[in-house]
């Protein structure tokens, strides 16, 4: 019974030690892989994952590896460090992985393997690449455009009331004598906000979907233009019909 317990303890202890005795690989995306490195040549490194139940051997292109940390504590750093200087005066020695318009990601090894860090470019004063190239981060100019006013100006210039709408208003005005229903309809329709705002001649069409202030200003001006055009056409039809009626009555007498 005692021998059985000792044997079980030995198996557990061996499993624990094995779980900690593993190699670590960090690739150029900052991803961390753990396992047992089997071998390598000039191009590839092979390893077997300790987490895998299969005996599959994984191949990794050595050009994509940043760092190797072996179970015996040996470390192979396969990259040259870049330098980041923050606006707070902090200096960060790390490998820059990716830079986009607003963010920068980097990997840092300081005796232990750290996860990928992401920092806003706006928080940096500059960064220097391992080849000596220095990049100073310039503040983006603040956008002070009054998009609501721009929307109104564009609507004044590019929005056109549909010819069919105007013709319909003329017709409704001309048929006012049909119990007044056409005239009431002709008064209501111009008050409805226009639906089609895009124009092939407007260079800022995209802002109608991406900028609420621009769309609000454009709709306001377009609605005013539609209302003016509608009531003008309605009055034109009404006046024409009324003059025609007066002429007919006068001719009859």
Burial of 169 (0-12, 13-18, 19+ CB in 10 A): buried
Q: Are strands 32-40 and 124-128 parallel, antiparallel or unpaired?
A: unpaired
CA gap 113, 127 in Å, rounded: 22
Mean of all residue pLDDT scores within the chain: 86
- Predicted confidence at residue 104, as pLDDT, reads 95
Cα 58-59-64 angle, rounded to 5 deg: 125
The DSSP code sequence of 190-235 is: GGSPPS----TT-TTTTHHHH-HHHHHHHHHHHHHHHHHHHHHHHH
Per-residue model confidence as pLDDT tens digits over 88-121: 999 999 999 999 888 999 999 998 999 999 999 9
Averaged pLDDT for residues 10-34: 68
Averaged pLDDT for residues 211-237: 94
Q: Are strands 91-99 and 103-107 parallel, antiparallel or unpaired?
A: antiparallel
Q: Which helix (H) or strand (E) holds 40?
A: strand 32-40
**pLDDT surpasses 90 at 185:** yes
- Predicted confidence at residue 166, as pLDDT, reads 93
CA gap 214, 46 in Å, rounded: 57
**pLDDT surpasses 90 at 81:** yes
8 Å CB contact between 56 and 35: no
Averaged pLDDT for residues 210-222: 95
8 Å CB contact between 237 and 169: yes
**pLDDT surpasses 50 at 51:** yes
Per-residue model confidence as pLDDT tens digits over 137-175: 886 667 788 999 999 999 999 999 999 999 999 999 899
Cα 52-58-64 angle, rounded to 5 deg: 125
């Amino acid at each position: 019974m005692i021998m059985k317990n000792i044997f079980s303890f030995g198996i557990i202890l061996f499993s624990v030690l094995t779980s900690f005795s593993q190699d670590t690989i960090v690739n150029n995306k900052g991803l961390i892989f753990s396992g047992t490195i089997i071998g390598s040549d000039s191009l590839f490194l092979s390893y077997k994952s300790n987490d895998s139940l299969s005996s599959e051997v994984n191949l990794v292109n050595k050009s994509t590896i940043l760092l190797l940390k072996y179970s015996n504590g040996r470390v192979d750093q396969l990259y040259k460090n870049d330098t980041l200087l923050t606006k707070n005066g902090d200096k960060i020695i790390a490998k820059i992985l990716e830079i986009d318009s607003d963010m920068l990601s980097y990997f840092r090894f300081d005796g232990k393997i750290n996860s990928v860090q992401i920092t806003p470019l706006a928080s940096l004063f500059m960064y220097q690449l391992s080849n000596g190239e220095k990049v100073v981060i310039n503040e983006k100019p603040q956008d002070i455009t009054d998009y609501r006013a721009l929307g109104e100006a564009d609507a004044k210039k590019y929005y056109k009331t549909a010819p069919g709408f105007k013709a319909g208003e003329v017709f409704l005005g001309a048929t006012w004598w049909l119990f007044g229903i056409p005239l009431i309809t002709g008064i209501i329709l111009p008050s409805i906000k226009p639906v089609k705002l895009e124009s092939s001649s407007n260079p800022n069409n995209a802002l109608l979907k991406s900028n609420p202030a621009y769309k609000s200003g454009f709709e306001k001006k377009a609605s005013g233009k539609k209302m003016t055009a509608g009531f003008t056409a309605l009055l034109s039809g009404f006046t024409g019909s009324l003059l025609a009626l007066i002429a007919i009555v006068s001719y009859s007498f």
